[in-house]
Amino acid sequence: MKKSTVQRVWSYLGNNKAMLVAVFVCAILGNSFLIFTPLLTGKAIDKIIGVNQVDFDGLIEIIAVLLLLYGLSSMFQWLMSVASNVAANHTIHDIRKDAFDKLNTLPLKYYDNTSHGDIISRLTNDMEAISDGLFQGITQIMSAIVIIIGCFLFMLSINPVITLVVILITPLCFFIATFIAKASKRMFAEQSKTVGDLNGYVEEIIGNQKIVKAFGYENESMERFKTINAKLYVSGQKAQWYSSLTNPTIRFINNLAYVAVTILGAFMALKGMITVGNIASFITYSNQFAKPINEITSIATQIQAAFASAERVFALIDQEPEQPILKPEEEFENCEGNVTFRGVSFSYHPEVPLIKNLNLQVEKGDTIAIVGPTGAGKTTLVNLLMRFYDVNTGEILIDGKDIYHINRDNLRQMIGMVLQDSWLFEGTIAENIAFGKPEASREEIINAAMVAKAHGFIKRLPDGYDTVIEEEGGNLSQGQKQLLTIARVILIDPPMLILDEATSSIDTRTEIMIQKAFKKMMEGRTSFVIAHRLSTIKEANQILVLQNGDIVEQGRHEELLAKKGFYYKLYQSQFAV
The model's confidence at residue 483, banded by pLDDT at 50, 70 and 90, is: confident
CATH superfamily of 5-317: ABC transporter type 1, transmembrane domain (1.20.1560.10)
What pLDDT is attached to residue 577?
44
- List 367's β-bridge partners, or say none: 527
Report the pLDDT averaged over residues 139-151. 79
Is the pLDDT reported for residue 165 higher than 80? no
Lowest pLDDT segment from 130-139, 167-176, 215-224? 167-176
Q: Cα 200 to chain center, whole Å?
A: 13
Q: Which of 98, 198, 206, 79 is nearest to 143 (CA)?
A: 79
Share of the chain above pLDDT 70, in %: 86
| 49 band by pLDDT with thresholds 50, 70 and 90 | low
Q: To 10 degrees, the CA torsion angle through 261, 266, 268, 269?
A: 130
Which of 76-90, 373-387, 390-404, 562-576 has the least mean pLDDT?
A: 562-576
Q: Once rounded to an integer, what is the mean pLDDT over residues 175-192? A: 72
Q: Domain locations in the chain? A: 5-317, 339-575
Q: What is d(CA 275, CA 168) in angstroms, rounded to the nearest whole number? A: 23
pLDDT value for 507 = 66
Average pLDDT over every residue of 523-545:
78
**For the chain, percent of residues with pLDDT exceeding 90:** 0
Range from 187-201, 220-234, 254-268 that averages highest in pLDDT: 220-234
Residue 513 scores a pLDDT above 70 = no
The CATH superfamily holding the domain 339-575 is P-loop containing nucleotide triphosphate hydrolases (3.40.50.300)
Whether residue 136 is predicted with pLDDT greater than 60 in this model: the reply is yes
Rg (CA), the chain: 35
Residue 543: phi, psi to the nearest 5?
-115, 125
Please tell me the pTM assigned to this model: 0.64
Question: Where is average pLDDT lowest: 102-106, 139-143, 410-414?
Answer: 139-143
Residue type at 350 in one-letter notation: P
The predicted structure's pLDDT at residue 50? 60
Residue 119 has pLDDT above 70, yes or no: yes
Strand order of the β-sheet with 367-371 is: 415-418, 496-500, 526-530, 367-371, 542-547, 550-555
The model's confidence at residue 183, banded by pLDDT at 50, 70 and 90, is low
Nearest to 446 by CA among 457, 455, 459, 456: 455
Can you tell me the mean pLDDT for 160-177? Answer: 74
* Same fold flag, 5-317 and 339-575: no
Q: What band does 324 get if pLDDT is binned at 50, 70 and 90? A: low
C-alpha span between 283 and 143 (Å, rounded): 20
Q: At what angle do helices 171-207 and 125-158 cross, to 10 degrees?
A: 170
Residue 1: the pLDDT is: 38
Mean pLDDT, range 306-312, rounded to an integer? 84
Which of these, 417, 401, 513, 529, lies nearest to 457 by C-alpha position?
513
Which stretches of 434-565 are DSSP H helices? 442-451, 455-459, 478-492, 508-521, 557-563
CA distances from 460 to 375, 454, 463, 491 (A): 40, 10, 8, 21
Task: Place 390 in a pLDDT band, splitting at 50, 70 and 90.
Answer: confident
Position 21 scores a pLDDT of 85
Mean pLDDT computed over 158-185:
73
What pLDDT score does 241 carry?
77
Q: Can you tell me the distance from the alpha carbon of 337 to that of 415, in angstroms, rounded to the nearest whole number?
A: 9
CA-CA distance, 300 to 19, in Å (whole number)? 23
Strands 355-362 and 367-371: unpaired
pLDDT (average), residues 161-185: 72
Q: Residues 545-550: what's their mean pLDDT?
A: 79
pLDDT score of 505: 58
Could you tell me the CA-to-CA distances from 204 to 124, 160, 225, 233, 476 in Å, in that order? 17, 65, 11, 21, 21
- In the predicted model, what is the mean pLDDT of residues 449-456? 84
Measured torsion, CA atoms of residues 443, 448, 454, 457, in degrees rounded to the nearest 10: 0
Does residue 387 contact residue 413 with C-beta atoms inside 8 Å? no
pLDDT, position 91: 87
Q: Mean of the pLDDT values across residues 167-179?
A: 71
What pLDDT does 330 receive?
63
State the amino acid at position 393 in one-letter form: T
Measured in whole angstroms, how far is the alpha carbon of residue 216 from the centre of its chain?
33
